[in-house]
Amino acid sequence: MKSHTIMLDINGDSRIVTVRSADTLLNALRGKLGLTGAKPGCLNGDCGACTVNVDGWPMKSCLMLVVEAVGKKITSIEGLKQAPIQQAFIENFAFQCGYCTPGFIMNCHSLIEQYPDADDTTIKEWLESNICRCTSYIEIEKAVKSVLKRN
Amino acid sequence: MLPFNFDYYTPKTMKEAVDLYQDLDQQGKQPMFFSGGTELITLGRINLAYTEAVIDIKDIAECKVMQVSGDHLFLGSSLSLTRIEEANLFPLLTKTVSEVADHTARVKITLGGNICAQIFYREAVLPFLLADSQVLIIGPDGEKIIPINEIFQEQLRLKKGEFLVQVATETQFIGAPYFSVKRRQQWETGYPLITMAALKIDREIRVAISGLCPFPFRSKEVEASLNNRGQSVEARIDRALAVMPTPILEDVEGSAKYRLFVLKNLLLDVMAALDGVRVR
């Protein structure tokens, strides 16, 4: 069983894919499913560029085997359709190069879904999971807070 | 992506998992129990971990338990650190694990995975050492319930084919006054310089430490020194420092001398927080 044909629930679609047991979710999303929004960064669970949403929680897709994702609802950045946090990133110019942006948006989106009234401590705790080399942290904070405020 | 292939199994019962391990071991597959799996994925990627058969224990009901029953709290080994934080059934544990890695990573890292990790910090074990918890282990010889302070000697001393199922903690320890702090070289993210957890029970202070030595520990000698109320706080802490286990880590996070300096100040903080004694 070194390779498996599995069905994944991604962005509301059922997708059948043949993968190695050793493939990470990130590998499968990008290499097998053509979903290149989750970005490979450190591949070590440190940078958060590959963050997606699994069953409502943020997940670093480089830290999950794709075979572990069977039966779970996966949402990647491609699955967000004009979510409020996406618009807020634009309005607050919460990026520069944009490489970390999908990961940040997916983490922020999960935070807003789980904690619509998140306080500063919770925001900081969650967003420490992602790194922005362009240091857009202030703008990202403003973007998240603008959505939370609307809630 | 891992540079080697392995078979992936999801047993539904403890017996199935144990039997699988034995079969796969006999086939020379170097089987590995897997829960959050972050260590296999990250170390495997750089060829520091290897297996030909992964046995994922997340589907086993006993490994997912999280409940207070009678006068014990039972926590399954495959609970993620985030789930433990969200439930907050053991505040000292919540505080201690909330400093492990980062929030998103803790959605994946599990209690058992952290306690049994190769990485030497293994901070999730500290509260259980302080609370004299007991561990449920299963293996080829069946189920065993063992005091954690007996089986955790620098690391959880599992025999081949055994895995951690649950940790049971008496509720009297859960409500006890506690102190937990993680000091890093700088800022608020990154590996710890020293993590310390402390608990006060029966007027005695207990401390468990990670990041000082290449293993987490709780030391009776250290606690005896700290609780020697016939002496000044400074003398008690000096004595505690003199009986710390060795070796003291000397690495990129900090020199041994600096670690002991930080530790001394942390012990002063513990004494202030739990004993109300301050040094001017």
pLDDT band at B206 (very low <50, low <70, confident <90, very high): very high
What is the predicted pLDDT for the residue at A1?
Answer: 61
Find the residue in A nearest to B106 (Cα): A59
What is the predicted pLDDT for the residue at B280?
Answer: 57
A59/B45 CB distance under 8 A: no
Distance from CA of B278 to the nearest CA of A (A): 29
What is the predicted pLDDT for the residue at A28?
Answer: 97
A44/B42 CB distance under 8 A: yes
A113-123: average pLDDT: 96
b/e per residue B159-193 (b: at least 16 CB within 10 A): eebbbbbbbbbebebbebebbbbbbbeeeeeeebb
A22/B5 CB distance under 8 A: yes
CB B264 within 8 A of CB B241: yes
Q: How does pLDDT run across B79-116, given as a tens digit for each residue? A: 999 999 999 999 999 999 998 999 999 999 999 999 99
B82/A44 CB distance under 8 A: no
Q: How does pLDDT run across B3-34, given as a tens digit for each residue? A: 999 999 999 999 999 999 999 999 999 999 99
Chain A hits for B42, CB-CB cut-off 8 Å, are 44-45, 63
- The three state secondary structure string of B58-113 is CCCHHHHCEEEECCEEEEECCCEHHHHHHHCCCHHHHHHHCCCCCHHHHHHCEHHH
Chain B hits for A107, CB-CB cut-off 8 Å, are 104
B59 or B1: which leads in pLDDT: B59
B5/A4 CB distance under 8 A: no
Find the residue in A nearest to B41 (Cα): A63
* Sequence-separated (6 or more) residues with CB below 8 Å from residue A38: A26, A29, A30, A49, A50, A51, A52, A61, A76, A77, A102, A103, A106
Residue B151 has pLDDT above 90, yes or no: yes
C-alpha A6/C-alpha A70 separation (Å) is: 7
ipTM of the modeled complex: 0.96
* Mean pLDDT score across all residues of chain B: 95
Chain A hits for B56, CB-CB cut-off 8 Å, are 68
Chain B hits for A5, CB-CB cut-off 8 Å, are none
Q: How does pLDDT run across B34-79, given as a tens digit for each residue? A: 999 999 999 999 999 999 999 999 999 999 999 999 999 999 999 9
The full set of domains in chain B, from first to last, is 7-56 (3.30.43), 61-173 (3.30.465.10), 177-275 (3.30.390.50)
Greatest alpha-carbon pair distance for chain A in Å reads: 49
Distance from CA of A25 to the nearest CA of B (A): 9
- A109–chain B Cβ distance below 8 A for any pair: no
C-alpha A1/C-alpha B117 separation (Å) is: 26
Find the residue in B nearest to A29 (Cα): B1
A126/B56 CB distance under 8 A: no
Residue B275 has pLDDT above 90, yes or no: no
A119-145: average pLDDT: 96
pLDDT band at A20 (very low <50, low <70, confident <90, very high): very high
Alpha carbon dihedral B75, B80, B81, B87, in 10-degree steps, equals -60
What is the predicted pLDDT for the residue at B191?
Answer: 76
CB A69 within 8 A of CB A51: no
Chain B hits for A20, CB-CB cut-off 8 Å, are 5
B184 or B225: which leads in pLDDT: B225
- Considering only CB atoms, B41 lies closest to which of A24, A48, A57, namely A24
What is the predicted pLDDT for the residue at B242?
Answer: 96
What is the predicted pLDDT for the residue at B189?
Answer: 72
Q: Which of residues 30-59 of A touch B (CB under 8 A)?
A: 43-45, 48, 51, 54, 57-59
Distance from CA of A102 to the nearest CA of B (A): 14
Give me B17's structure tokens.
Answer: 């998992």
The H or E element that residue B164 is part of is strand B163-170
Size of interface A-B (CB pairs under 8 A): 81
Find the residue in B nearest to A107 (Cα): B104
A63/B6 CB distance under 8 A: no
A128/B189 CB distance under 8 A: yes
B181-198: average pLDDT: 85
Give the mutation candidate from A18, A20, A21, A55 for the B interface (greatest B CB count, under 10 A): A21
Our separate counts of H helices and E strands in chain A read 5, 5
